[in-house]
């Protein structure tokens, strides 16, 4: 969790356990199952999140759930969450209107190591709704463009209608200082781009492996194949970052729901280096170079 200046230990513990109110100030329906909410804390305090971190969001009578930030920390007056309708709480959040309140506590977890990534080329690989947490990182890089080398965005979705943040996608594609590659698994009559899973456009991306950091978010089944492509490009294992979502409950490493052997995904992650996940098949199905032998 981010450390707050001038906050006593007692105040910090209260913030960790007790939600504060956040008001809905904007809402956009992106797909049938996905809604984008813009919120502002009632106190007006900036949550100072890092790209890759998450919040615990609650509604009375419905419970609490972890949701990743999808807005950049450079957006200081508010923050945004992308909510998929998959249960009682998330469906209730789809019914929220501007002026309604939710409870939030956090931010939690370790996000992407921004300070370490500065000066390097950043390759972002998003599969499906994995674009939501990566939008925070992409827009941070776009807003701090001089702090980074090449910015490369590879985004794959199942169908054209499943793609999220179309205004952002168009803006990224229009920028001369960002390289974009998009694909869909199942094209329709309107689609003119590449067809295939996300590794299809990724295969054609040329990188300098000595100066590139990859940030990858998507369904776990995709991670093995993305790792294969990145290692085939001679990327170092430590420079490949995956974000995991694993049954978060408390967000503070107390309940054990997200425990991964000796790791707590909510505290030690959700962003991990590939090297941290080797040998942990219950996290993702990882791949090692020796599989090429024979």
Identify the CATH number of the domain in which residue 141 sits. 3.40.50.80
In a domain, 1, yes or no: no
In this structure, what DSSP letter does residue 253 have?
Answer: S
Same domain, 93 and 118: no
> Which residue has better confidence, 37 or 220?
37
Same domain, 101 and 139: no
Q: Among 63, 82, 108, where does a domain finish?
A: 108
The pLDDT of residue 254 is 63
Same domain, 128 and 100: no
In a domain, 3, yes or no: no
CA distance 192 to 121: 28
CA distance 58 to 256: 19
In a domain, 4, yes or no: no
Give the pair of three-digit tokens for residue 220. 């776990």
pLDDT, one tens digit per residue, over 170-226 is 999 999 999 999 999 999 999 999 999 999 999 999 999 999 999 999 988 899 899
The residue segments making up the domain with residue 163 are 114-292
Same domain, 220 and 237: yes
Q: Domain holding 40: CATH number?
A: 2.40.30.10
Confidence of residue 83 (pLDDT cuts 50, 70, 90): very high
Confidence of residue 96 (pLDDT cuts 50, 70, 90): very high
In a domain, 2, yes or no: no
Q: Residue 100 pLDDT > 90, yes or no? A: yes
Q: Count up the domains in the chain and report the number.
A: 2
Same domain, 90 and 129: no
Q: Residue 157 pLDDT > 60, yes or no? A: yes
In this structure, what DSSP letter does residue 289 have?
Answer: G
User: Which residues have a Cβ under 8 Å from the Cβ of 189 and sit 6 or more positions away?
Assistant: none
| Mean pLDDT across the chain | 88
Q: Do β-strands 54-59 and 63-68 pair in parallel, antiparallel, or remain unpaired?
A: antiparallel
In a domain, 280, yes or no: yes
CA distance 207 to 121: 8
pLDDT over 70 percentage in the chain: 84
> Which residue has better confidence, 236 or 6?
236
Same domain, 205 and 132: yes
> What is the SS3 assignment for 96-118?
CCCCCEEEEEEEECECCCHHHHC
Same domain, 212 and 174: yes
The pLDDT of residue 7 is 41
First CA to last CA across the chain, in angstroms? 45
Same domain, 93 and 149: no
The pLDDT of residue 279 is 72
DSSP string, 141-203: HHHTGGGSS-EEEEEEESSGGG---HHHHHHHHH-TT-EEEEEESS--TT--SEES-THHHHH
The pLDDT of residue 269 is 72
In a domain, 198, yes or no: yes
- C-alpha pair distances (Å), 18 with each of 10, 29, 104, 164: 12, 29, 8, 32
Q: Among 93, 108, 123, where does a domain finish?
A: 108
User: Which residues have a Cβ under 8 Å from the Cβ of 193 and sit 6 or more positions away?
Assistant: 182, 183, 184, 187
Same domain, 198 and 64: no
Mean local confidence (pLDDT), 158-167: 96
Q: Among 77, 108, 139, where does a domain finish?
A: 108
In this structure, what DSSP letter does residue 270 have?
Answer: B
CA distance 184 to 126: 12
CA distance 239 to 79: 28
The pLDDT of residue 231 is 96
Measured in degrees and rounded to the nearest 5, phi and psi for residue 139 equal -70, -30
Closest C-alpha among 183, 221, 189 to residue 203: 183
Buried b (16+ CB within 10 A) or exposed e, 253-285: beeeebebeebbbbbbbbbbebebbeebeebbe
């Amino acid at each position: 969790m981010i450390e707050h200046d001038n906050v006593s230990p007692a105040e910090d513990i209260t913030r960790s356990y007790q939600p504060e109110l956040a008001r809905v100030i904007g809402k956009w329906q992106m797909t049938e199952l996905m809604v984008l909410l813009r919120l502002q804390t009632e106190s007006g305090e900036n949550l100072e999140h890092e790209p890759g971190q998450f919040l615990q969001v609650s509604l009375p009578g419905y419970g609490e759930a972890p949701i990743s930030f999808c807005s950049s920390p450079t957006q200081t007056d508010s923050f945004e969450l992308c909510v998929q309708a998959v249960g009682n709480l998330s469906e209730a959040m789809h019914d929220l209107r501007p002026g309604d309140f939710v409870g939030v506590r956090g931010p939690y977890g370790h996000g992407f190591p921004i300070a370490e990534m500065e000066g390097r080329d950043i390759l972002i690989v998003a599969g499906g709704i994995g674009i939501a947490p990566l939008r925070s990182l992409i827009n941070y890089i776009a807003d701090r463009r001089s702090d980074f080398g090449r910015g490369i965005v590879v985004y794959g979705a199942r169908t054209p209608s499943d793609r999220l943040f179309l205004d952002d996608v168009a803006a990224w594609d229009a920028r001369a200082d960002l390289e974009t590659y998009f694909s869909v698994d199942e094209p329709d009559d309107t689609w003119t781009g590449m067809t295939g899973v996300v590794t299809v456009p990724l295969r054609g991306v040329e990188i300098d492996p000595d100066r590139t950091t990859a940030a990858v978010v998507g369904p776990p089944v995709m991670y093995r194949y993305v790792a294969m492509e990145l290692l085939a490009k001679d990327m170092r294992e430590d420079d490949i970052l995956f974000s995991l979502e694993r049954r978060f409950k408390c967000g503070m490493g107390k309940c054990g729901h997200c425990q991964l052997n000796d790791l707590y995904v909510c505290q030690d992650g959700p962003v991990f280096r590939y090297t941290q996940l080797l040998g942990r098949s219950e996290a993702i199905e990882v791949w090692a170079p020796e599989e090429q032998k024979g």
